[in-house]
Amino acid sequence: MFRPEKLFVLLCGAALLTSGCAKKDPPALERPPSPVIVTPAVMASVPVYLDEVGRGVAREVVSVQPEVSGRITEIRFTDGADVKKGDPLFTIDPRPFQAQLDAAEANLVQSKAALDFAKIQFARVQDLVESKAIARQDYDTRKNAVDVGEAQVRQNQAAVESARLNLEYTAIRSPIDGRAGHRLVDVGNVVTTNSTTLLTIERLDPIYADFTVTENDLPAVQRNSRGGELKVEVRLPDEPEKPVVGRLTFLDNSVQSSSGTVMLRATVPNADHRLWPGQFVNVRLVLATLPKAVLVPVAATQDSAKGPFVYVVKQDSTAELRIIKLGQRQGDQIVVEQGVQPGERVVVTGQLGVMPGAKVRVDTPPAAGPAAGQS
């Protein structure tokens, strides 16, 4: 027989079992802030430039050749030495040229004596011709002797100067300040006038840096050079932080049709001989100065399918992804033409853990360690 009180007991027991078996869902876990290091974007004036590869060229190159023929008797320099203008280099046997000078001087003395005698003879008849005491022909003969004697004196004077000059040429001296190469003759070699190269000397200070720009960049070079000479920074490939500053001094008058480039030349000081003729160098031609440029570290920039971007940390410690437009690199920094304002904090370390719109934790950059050799 069915009893209602048993049904009530069963229903209450089922309700208790159901409520006892039910489990509550745990609360959702919030993502912790990503640790990042930030730096503010700065404003500064920066150069607008063209970076090219160039080559060092000696400002002056002289091939030393003898101006008289003869035998080399002495070498008075060391291969590779720095020489000054007028320093002795070679000596050619001077004895034949000294003999020629002595003979020329003797001839000059003889011609002067003959001229003096001719003048005396002419003076004797000069007053007699008016009184017709002598024939006109005798007068003309003695006057002609004076003219011939004066011509012979001038001729012998020229011969003396020529012989003296040839004697001076036996002492070959440096025509410029520069660096000597290796000698091409030795003591005892016989050299010929203006045909035997004895040595090559190159002037290294200042030095030229030759480079090219494309014809597309040529208008910018011409436009900016109208206000004066443009600054050029020349760097060795292994010393990028030590530029040598010079000036643009030459722009070629045509574009090379085969390459579409135009040649330029910078003149740079080179007192320490860091730059060398024929050496490849990195050349930066500074065209102008860009004022109030916004700069961020190169390490802050990232690439995406939409272009370069940076993470900007806002005041509420959330990260915002900004698509930016980049300009020229300036050392460890780069110009941002659009997308970032001066003073905004950009993430330079920790970008991989950042989500757009998520919270970040700004950490302090680690202090630089002690320099090498310090404890």
Mean pLDDT throughout 43-68? 95
Residue 163: inside a domain, yes or no? yes
Tell whether 11 is covered by a domain: no
- Comparing CA positions, the residue from 334, 254, 319 lying closest to residue 34 is 319
Residue 356 has pLDDT above 70, yes or no: yes
**Sign of torsion, CA 235 237 239 241?**
positive
Closest C-alpha among 200, 363, 185 to residue 278: 200
**pLDDT for residue 21 is more than 80:** no
Q: Averaged over 115-121, what is the pLDDT?
A: 86
Domain boundary among 270, 289, 308: 289
The number of domains in the chain is 3
Neighbours of 356 (CB within 10 A): 11
- The pLDDT score that the predictor gives to residue 235 is 94
> What are the φ/ψ torsions at residue 272 (nearest 5 degrees)?
-90, 5
C-alpha–C-alpha distance, residues 172 and 35, integer Å: 75
Q: How far apart are CA 41 and CA 48, in angstroms?
A: 19
Q: In which band, very low, low, confident or very high, does the pLDDT at 375 lie, cut at 50, 70 and 90?
A: very low
Residues 227 and 164 in one domain: no
Query: Which of 233, 258, 289 is where one domain is finished?
Result: 289
Residue at 130 is within a domain: yes
Residues 113 and 148 in one domain: yes
Contact 296, 290 (CB under 8 A): no
d(CA 346, CA 299): 10
Q: Do 263 and 302 belong to one domain?
A: no
**280 belongs to a structural domain:** yes
Is the pLDDT at 175 greater than 70? The verdict is yes
Report, as an integer, the average pLDDT of 26-42.
81
- CA distance linking residue 292 with residue 294, whole number of Å: 7
Is it the case that residue 16 has pLDDT exceeding 70?
no
Residue 187 falls inside a structural domain: no
Residue 153 amino acid letter: V
pLDDT band at 146 (very low <50, low <70, confident <90, very high): confident
Pair 210, 55: CB distance under 8 Å: yes
CB 332 within 8 A of CB 42: no
The domain containing residue 269 runs over which residues?
A: 50-59+205-289
DSSP string, 203-227: EEEEEEEEEEEETTTHHHHHHHHTT
- The first and second tokens of residue 319, run together, are 């990260």
| Residue that wins the pLDDT comparison between 239 and 17 | 239
Regarding whether 339 and 279 lie in a shared domain, the answer is no
Determine the Cα–Cα distance for residues 112 and 325; give it in Å rounded to an integer: 90
pLDDT at residue number 151: 94
Which DSSP category does 289 fall into? E
Are residue 320 and residue 247 in the same domain, yes or no?
no
Q: What are phi and psi of 182, to 5 degrees?
A: -90, 140
Least confident of 14-28, 226-240, 336-350: 14-28
For residue 133, give the CATH number of its domain. 1.10.287.470
Give the length of the chain. 375
Among 237, 253, 235, smallest CA distance to 245 is for 235
In our burial notation (b when 16+ CB lie closer than 10 A, e otherwise), range 337-351 reads eebbeeebbbbbbbb
CATH number at residue 245: 2.40.30.170
> How do residues 298-346 score in pLDDT, each as one tens digit?
999 999 999 999 999 999 999 999 999 999 999 899 999 999 999 999 9
- pLDDT for res 12: 47
- pLDDT category, 169, cuts 50, 70, 90? very high
Q: Looking at the structure, tell me whether residues 104 and 164 fall in a common domain.
A: yes
What does the alpha-carbon distance between residue 16 and residue 138 come to, in Å, rounded to a whole number?
Answer: 169
What CATH number is associated with residue 358?
2.40.420.20
User: Tell me, what's the pLDDT at 1?
Assistant: 47
Q: What is the pLDDT of residue 371?
A: 45
Asked whether 71 and 198 are in contact (CB, 8 A), the reply is no
pLDDT recorded at residue 120: 84
Kindly state whether residue 10 falls inside one of the protein's structural domains: no
Same domain, 274 and 231: yes
Q: How far apart are CA 306 and CA 32, in angstroms?
A: 28
Confidence of residue 372 (pLDDT cuts 50, 70, 90): very low
Are 141 and 152 found together in one domain?
Answer: yes
Tokens of 344: 């905004």
Share of the chain above pLDDT 70, in %: 87
pLDDT tens digit sequence for 125-145: 776 666 666 667 777 787 888
Residue 7 has pLDDT above 80, yes or no: no
> Of all residues in the chain, what percent carry a pLDDT higher than 90?
72
Torsion angles phi and psi, residue 177, rounded to 5: -80, 135
How many angstroms separate the Cα of 79 from the Cα of each of 162, 263, 319?
Answer: 32, 33, 66
Lowest-confidence region among 16-20, 276-280, 299-303: 16-20
Task: Based on the fold, state whether residues 276 and 242 are members of the same structural domain.
Answer: yes
- Does residue 84 fall inside a structural domain? no
- Residue that finishes a domain, picked among 241, 268, 289: 289
- Closest of 201, 277, 284 to residue 242, by C-alpha: 284
Whether residue 308 sits in one domain with residue 264: no
* pLDDT score at 374: 45
Asked if 301 and 320 sit in the same domain, the reply is: yes
- Of 254, 208, 176, the closest CA to residue 57 belongs to 208
Do residue 283 and residue 305 come from a single domain?
Answer: no
Does residue 161 lie within any of the structural domains? yes
- 23 confidence band (pLDDT: 50, 70, 90): low
Does residue 171 register a pLDDT over 70?
yes
Look at residue 266 in the predicted model and tell me its pLDDT. 96
